[in-house]
Structure 1
Amino acid sequence: MSALLQLEKLSVAYHGVDAVRGVSLSAPRGAIVSVIGANGAGKSTMLNAAMGILPARGQIMFDGAPIHGLSVEERFARGIALVAEKRELFATLPVEDNLALGRFRFRREGRAAAHAALEEVYDLFPRLRERRRQLAGTLSGGERQMLAMGRALMGKPRLLMLDEPSLGLAPLIVREIFRIVVSLRERGVSILLVEQNARAALQISDYGYVLENGRVSLEGPSAALQEDARVAATYLGFGAQEDGDEDENGEGDDDDGEA
C-alpha cells in the first residue's frame, strides 16, 4: 500500500523542549497505524505537528505532496482530520449542532450533502442520533468521544488521526470505539491512532510504531510487535482502560469536553 501520510525526520520543540526528534513514519492508504508509548513520549505533539497546530522541522507529505507550509484549515480541506485528546466540543450546544460545525467548511455543497454526511455519522454512532437534541456538556465520557469522532467525520476525511480515544473510558466503551475505528478502515478511511492502551491499539492496527523520548525506538507489523518481548514487558502488561473510573455507560473521571 502506498503512503497517504509520510513524516520524514520530523522534529518539534514544545515549550523549549525537543518533544519529537527525527521521527519518520508512514500511514498507508486504507490502513490503521498505531503509535504507542508512555505518557510524555511525544505522541500528541507529533499529531499536532502533522495537523499544522505546532511548528515543526522536517518533511510532511500527504498524498504525495508536501503540506509543511499549509495551515490547519488547508490540511483539513485536503482530507486530514484530528480528534484531539481533550475532544474540544461546544458543551452548550446540542449534539446535532456540534456535528453541523464539522461540516461548516463544506456548506456550499448544500443541505443534501450535509444531511447525507449526518446520516452516515448517525449510522456509525446510533447513540448520537438518540442524543441529537441533548447538550454536549451533559453527555457521558464515551458519548463525548463518539461526538468528537462524528464531528471530524462530517468533513469526510481521508485520514483520521485519533489522539488517545480510549482515555478515561470504561472497557465496554473502549471496545465499542475501537470497533468503530475498524469499521472506518473498511469504509476506506485511513487511521493514525495514538494510544497509551498499547494492547487494544495493536490488536486492531496493521502496523505500529513505538515512540520513546520523542524518537521511534521500534516499528513493525502490529502482530509482530505484540510478540516482541520488550514491547510485551513494557507496554502490554496492562491496559489504559483498567485504570479508568467509569462505569459501563462510559461515565467517570473524564475531561469536560468543552471547547
Structure 2
Amino acid sequence: MTPILEVRDLHVAYGKVEALHGASLTVGAGQIVTVIGPNGAGKSTMLNAIAGTLPASGAVRGAVVLRGHVLTGVPIEARVARGMSLVPEKRELFATMTVEDNLQLGSYRRHKTGERNYADQMGVVYELFPRLKERRAQEAGTLSGGERQMLALGRALMAKPDLLMLDEPSLGLAPLIVKEIFQIIVRLKQTGVAILLVEQNAHAALQVADHAYVLETGEMVLQGPAQQVANDPKVIETYLGLGKKTA
C-alpha cells in the first residue's frame, strides 16, 4: 500500500545555516506518527517544509510525496487540495469571528471548487468537539486555550484531509486539557485520517503514536515503533524524565 506521506532526505537551510539535515519519514494510512525532540531541533521547520509554508528565505531540498504525488514546487493551496492540513503551533484563528465562521473557513477550498456538500464535516466536528457546538456563536478570541486548540483542529478537519499535521498541540495547555486533546487525537485516528504529530511532550505523544522518530539538531537520530522508542534508555533519560538519578 502506498504511504499517505513520504519525506525523503529533506534539507532546509536559511542562508548558510542548515536547520534540517536529510530528514526522512513515512506516515501510513490510519497511522499516528510522532516526531519528538527538544526545542530548536527543527521539528516545526520540517512540518512547514512539508506543508509548503516556509518563508521565502528557507531553501528546501529533498522530496515530499503525498499519496504518490511529488510536491516539489507545489503551492500551499494545491497541497491542501491534495489532502494535507496543518494545525500550526500558534493556531492562527480569526479572533473576532465566531467559532462557526472559523470552521466554515476550513471548508473554503471545497466550497470554491464547487463541492455541494462542503459543510458536511460540521456535524463530524461538533460530534468530536461538543464544546465547539455549545460555543458556535461565540467569538474565537473569547475561548479558553483548550477550546482554541479544539477549534484549530476542527477547522483543519473541515477540509476532509487524508493527512493531518499537528504542531505542538499541547503547547501552553493545562495537564487535564492536554490529556483531553490527546484523547481526541486518538479518536481522530479512528475516523481514518493519518496524523503526523510534532510534540515536545514525549510521554503523551509516545502513548498515542504507532511509530516515532526522534529529531535532534536537525537530524533523525532514532526511529521505530512508538513503544520500542519509549523503552529506549536514551529516550527514557532525555525525554521521559525517568532516568536513574546519579549521586
Question: Same fold by TM (over 0.5)?
Answer: yes
Look up the match of 1:73.
77
In the alignment, residue 102 of structure 2 is paired with which amino acid? N
1:121-200, aligned counterparts within 5 Å? Answer: 121-200=125-204
Count of matched residue positions in the alignment of Structure 1 and Structure 2: 236
Look up the match of 2:19.
19
Distance between the aligned counterparts of 1:147 and 1:14, measured in 2? 32
Distance between the aligned counterparts of 1:56 and 1:146, measured in 2? 31
In the alignment, residue 109 of structure 1 is paired with which amino acid? E
Distance between the aligned counterparts of 1:153 and 1:15, measured in 2? 35
Please report the TM-score for the alignment, with normalisation by the length of structure 1: 0.89
SS where residue 8 of structure 1 aligns?
strand
1:95 aligns with 2:99: yes
1:48 aligns with 2:10: no
SS where residue 3 of structure 1 aligns?
coil
**Once the 2 structures are TM-superposed, how far is the Cα of residue 73 of structure 1 from its aligned partner?**
0.3
Look up the match of 1:64.
68
**Contact 1:52–1:68 (Cα < 8 Å) also in 2:** no
1:235 aligns with 2:239: yes
The root-mean-square deviation of aligned C-alpha atoms, in Å, is 1.2
**Contact 1:34–1:195 (Cα < 8 Å) also in 2:** yes
Look up the match of 1:109.
115
Look up the match of 2:206.
202
CA gap 1:24/1:115 in 2 versus in 1, 3 angstroms: closer
**Contact 1:91–1:135 (Cα < 8 Å) also in 2:** yes
Percent identity over the alignment is 59
**Contact 2:107–2:119 (Cα < 8 Å) also in 1:** no
**Contact 1:83–1:152 (Cα < 8 Å) also in 2:** yes
Look up the match of 1:255.
none
**Once the 2 structures are TM-superposed, how far is the Cα of residue 16 of structure 1 from its aligned partner?**
4.8
Of 213, 217, 238, the match for 2:217? 213
Distance between the aligned counterparts of 1:115 and 1:51, measured in 2? 23
Please report the TM-score for the alignment, with normalisation by the length of structure 2: 0.93
**Contact 1:202–1:223 (Cα < 8 Å) also in 2:** yes
Look up the match of 2:245.
none
Unaligned runs of 5+ in 1: 239-259
Unaligned runs of 5+ in 2: 243-247
**Contact 2:12–2:60 (Cα < 8 Å) also in 1:** yes
